[in-house]
Structure 1
Amino acid sequence: MFRPVPVPVLPPSTALADLATAGEHHAWLAGTTGVFTSRPSAPLVLSWTGETWREEPLPDLPAPASLSGVSATAPDDVWAVGNSDGHPLVLHYDGTTWHTVTTPPITWAKAVAAVARDDVHVVGTGRDTLHYDGTHWHVRTALSSAREGLQTITATAPHHVWAGGGGLAGAGPATYDYPVLVHWDGHTWTEIAGPRLERGHVARLAATAPDDIWLGHVRDTEGLRVHRWDGRQWNAVPTPDHTGRLSVHGVAAGWTWGVRATRRSFDTRPAFHRWTGHRWTTVALPDDLARTSASHVGLATTGTTTWAYLKTAAGVHVLRHTAP
C-alpha cells in the first residue's frame, strides 16, 4: 500500500511534471508554480530529506519558467530541465546549491537522462538533442525530419540511451502522427524499430537493462498502451483491468499510473498498478485519496522503494511504497 509522507503547502497553481530517485533514500519532484494565473510561472523542485519533502531554493530567473523533467545519478548530481522565455532551462544541483546551466538552444526541452556526472542527455520537441560530456554541451541531431520531435528519454549506460516521441505525416485533414524511437550508442543517434505501431506517439520510456525496456504508446483517444522489449522482440503488455473507465498516463519499470472514473462520472480517481510478471495488480491508496478526484499523477521507482505523486483540490500529495 502507498503511504503518504509530509509535503510542504504549495500554491493551488502548482503543476507537477516528473519524479527522479537516486537510491532508496533520495528523490526529487519537479514542477511549476503560477500555472494559469496572472503571476509569472516559476520552476519548483521538492526533495526528500529522509523525513519529509521540502521545497528547494532555486536560482532567480529573469523570465517566467517551467520544469518538465528531472534526473539524478547521485544525491549531489541532479539535473532538472524545462523552458524559460522560449529557451531551454537546465538546472543542476551539486549537493549544496542549484545552479543555472547555459546550453545551446534546442526546441522546447522536455526530458533529461543523467547517465553519469559527465554524461547527460536532454531531449526536446524538435529533432535536436543536447549532450553534456563533463566539459561542454553539444547539439546532436537525433531525428531526420523537422516534423518529428522527442518527449521522453531513458538510459541504462553511456552506450544504451533511448528516446521516443512522434512525427507528423500528411497534410490538412489527412494529417496523422506516427511514433519514433531512437538509440544513442555513445557516439550517434540512430532510429530503431519499436513495436509495430502505425499511428500515435511514444509518450514514455523506462529501462532497467538493454533487454528490459518499457514503452508507453498513445494513439488518438485510445489512451496509453504498454509494450516491453525483452532483448529479442517487443511484446504487448495487457492493459490493467479496472472497473469503470481507466486512463493510463505513464509507465515505469513494472508500474503504470493514471486515473479512473466510474460510469456516469467525470471525477478522476488516482490509479497505480504493479506488474506481477503475468498481470497488473492495483496498489491500494489511503481511503481519503482513493476517493478524491486527482490530476498530475506520476511515479518513479528504484525497484524497492516507489514514490508516487498526485494533486487534489486539497493540494499536492506524495506517497511511498516499499516492496515486501
Structure 2
Amino acid sequence: MSLARSCRSVAVAAIVAATASANAGDCAVWQHHDVPTPHSRGLLYGVDTGPGGETWAVGRATVQLSMFAFDDEPFASRWDGAAWQTVPVPHPSPSAPGQREASFYDVAVLASDDVWAVGTYHTVGADGFPGFQTLAMHFDGTSWTHIPTPLTPIGGTGGFLNAVDAVAPDDVWAAGTRIAPDVPAINTTAVLLHWDGTAWTEIPDAPWFIDLNEIEDIRAFPGGVVWCAGHFGNAPGDNPWLARWDGHWTLFEGLPVPPGRNGLYAIDGPAPDDVWVVGQSLSPIGTVAVVLHWDGTSWSWDAPDVGGLVTISLLGVGVAPDGTVHVAGVWTNEPSPATPLPFLGRRRTGGAWDILETVTDGPESAWYRGLTVDDDCSAWVVGQQQPLLAAAVRLDGDTEPNPDIDGDGQVGFSDLLAVLSAWGPCSGCPADLDGDGLVGLIDLLIILSAWS
C-alpha cells in the first residue's frame, strides 16, 4: 500500500511491524526482528503477504558513495519465517553512480517465484533532461526483471507507480501518476495499468481534475474490478480522489469527510461491496483520521475516536477474511512541528472499534504505513523510524506466551525461579514471556496468573 511522494523526503530508516487484536489476551506479544538494509540506511513503503504466508517488504536503501554523493536504490526483503532476508535488486537507472535514484513503493506477492514491485527511477528523457519514470519489476524466484510500461516519457519526467495488486499471474494491476503536458491546467493525471501475463497496458480515460491527480493505493478483485484511492488539488492531500474501474470508470464525489483538505492514502477490503479507505483531514486545529466504508451502496464515515490526539494520519489499512480491520499511521499529541509517533490503529469486529493500540516497546519516533493482513491476529506493518536505523517489530497471533517454562505440565515455583534468575535484559530467553527483550514484572505476572 502506498503513500509515495508525501513521505519520500522523511527519515531514511526502516521499520517493520506486525499487529494483532487490540484486546489483551486475544493475540500474542510484540517481537522484534532486524531488517538488514544495505549500508544500514533505508526505509520501507510497502508489504504484502501471499499464499502460505509468503511475505515481502519493499522500499529503498541509501548508499553513501562519498561525503556528498549518494545513490538511492530499490530495496526488497523477504520474511523466511524466522528473519528478514535481503533480496538483491539491480539498479534500473542508467545514470552514473552518484546520480542514480530509484525506489519501490509497493509489492504484490502471488508466490515465492511470482512477485511484483513498483515504484520509480531517475533517468534522462528524450529531451535530454533528467526526471523520474515509472518502474515495474518482476521476481521469478531467482532474479528481478525490469518490465517496461506503456507510459511514454514526455520530456524529462514520466511518472510514478505507487501501488500494485495481483489477482492472478495474468491479472495484475498497478497505479500512480504521470505528467500530462497535453491537457490544459493539468500537472499530473491518475494512471491505472493492467498486466495480462504478457505486457502492461494503460486503462484509458481515468478521471481527473485540475492541478495534481495521484492514485496512492488500489485494491483489485477477480472479474476486473479495481478500487482506486488518492487525492487531487494544488498540493498532495488537498481533495479526496476515489474511483472504481469495472470496465468503465465510476468517480465518487461528495464523500462524507470533514471540510478542509482531505487525502486518501490506503484502501482494502474482502469484496468489491465491502471496501475500507483511510487517510487524513487537515484543519487549522490539527489533523483528523479519515476512515470510510463502502457497503455496496454508499460511503459512510467510520473513523475511531482517538481522544485527545492533536494530529493523526492513517496511511495503511488491511482487512482480515473475518472482517477485522487494521489501520496504521502516525500521530502526535502536540501541534506541528512535533515528533511523529507510531500508530497501530484499532481493530474493528462486530461493528465496534476496540481500544487504541500503539507500539510501546518500539521506536519512539516512527511512521507506520504499508500494511498486510493474514487473519484477525496477524498483520504486518512497514514504515520508518528515527534515527537512521532499520528495525522490526512483530506481533504473531500464532505465538502465545508459555508460562510453563520448565515444560513439566504445570506452572509453579520452578517457573517462578526461572523468571527471577533471568531478571533483567534477556532477549529471546524462555523467561522473556512477553517478548520485549526484558525479563521483568510483566513476565512475573504472567507466571502468577497461570499458576497451577
Q: What residue number does 1:206 align with?
A: 219
Are the counterparts in 2 of residues 47 and 56 from structure 1 also a CA contact under 8 Å?
A: no
CA distance in 2, matches of 1:243, 1:127: 33
Pair 1:233–1:174, CA change in 2 (3 A):
closer
Q: Deviation of residue 99 (structure 1)? A: 0.4
CA distance in 2, matches of 1:224, 1:215: 11
Alignment partner of 2:342 out of 302, 316, 319: 316
Q: Deviation of residue 53 (structure 1)? A: 4.1
- The structure with higher relative contact order (CA 8 Å, sep 6+) is 2
Percent identity between the two aligned chains: 26
Establish whether residue 270 from structure 1 lines up as the match of residue 281 from structure 2: no
CA distance in 2, matches of 1:239, 1:54: 42
Q: What residue number does 2:325 align with?
A: 306
**Normalised by the size of structure 1, how large is the TM-score?**
0.78
Are the counterparts in 2 of residues 18 and 68 from structure 1 also a CA contact under 8 Å?
A: yes
Pair 1:243–1:139, CA change in 2 (3 A):
closer
Q: Deviation of residue 276 (structure 1)? A: 1.9
Q: What residue number does 2:263 align with?
A: 248
Bigger Rg over Cα:
2
Q: What residue number does 2:280 align with?
A: 259
Q: Aligned with 1:268: secondary structure? A: strand
Q: Deviation of residue 308 (structure 1)? A: 0.5
Matched residues, number: 286
**Unaligned runs of at least 5 residues, structure 2:** 21-26, 63-71, 93-101, 121-132, 270-274, 334-340, 352-452
Q: Deviation of residue 259 (structure 1)? A: 2.2
Q: Aligned with 1:62: secondary structure? A: helix
1:51-70 deviation digits (Å, cap 9, x = unpaired)? 34444322253142111111
Within 5 Å, give how 1:52-201 maps onto structure 2: 52-59=29-36, 61-74=38-51, 76-85=53-62, 86-106=72-92, 107-125=102-120, 126-146=133-153, 147-170=158-181, 176-197=187-208, 200-201=213-214
Are the counterparts in 1 of residues 280 and 314 from structure 2 also a CA contact under 8 Å?
A: no
Q: Deviation of residue 144 (structure 1)? A: 3.6
CA distance in 2, matches of 1:210, 1:242: 30
Pair 1:76–1:216, CA change in 2 (3 A):
closer
1:88-138 deviation digits (Å, cap 9, x = unpaired)? 111100111110111222332111111222110111122332101122221
Superposition CA RMSD, Å:
2.9
CA distance in 2, matches of 1:236, 1:144: 23
Q: What residue number does 1:236 align with?
A: 251
Q: Deviation of residue 196 (structure 1)? A: 3.8
**Unaligned runs of at least 5 residues, structure 1:** 1-16, 20-31
Are the counterparts in 1 of residues 75 and 103 from structure 2 also a CA contact under 8 Å?
A: no
Q: Deviation of residue 74 (structure 1)? A: 4.3
1:218-271 deviation digits (Å, cap 9, x = unpaired)? 3224522211123x3221224431343361323334112122356xx3311112
Pair 1:18–1:190, CA change in 2 (3 A):
closer
Q: What residue number does 2:19 align with?
A: 48
Q: What residue number does 2:374 align with?
A: none
Which one has the bigger strand percentage?
A: 1
Q: Deviation of residue 322 (structure 1)? A: 2.4
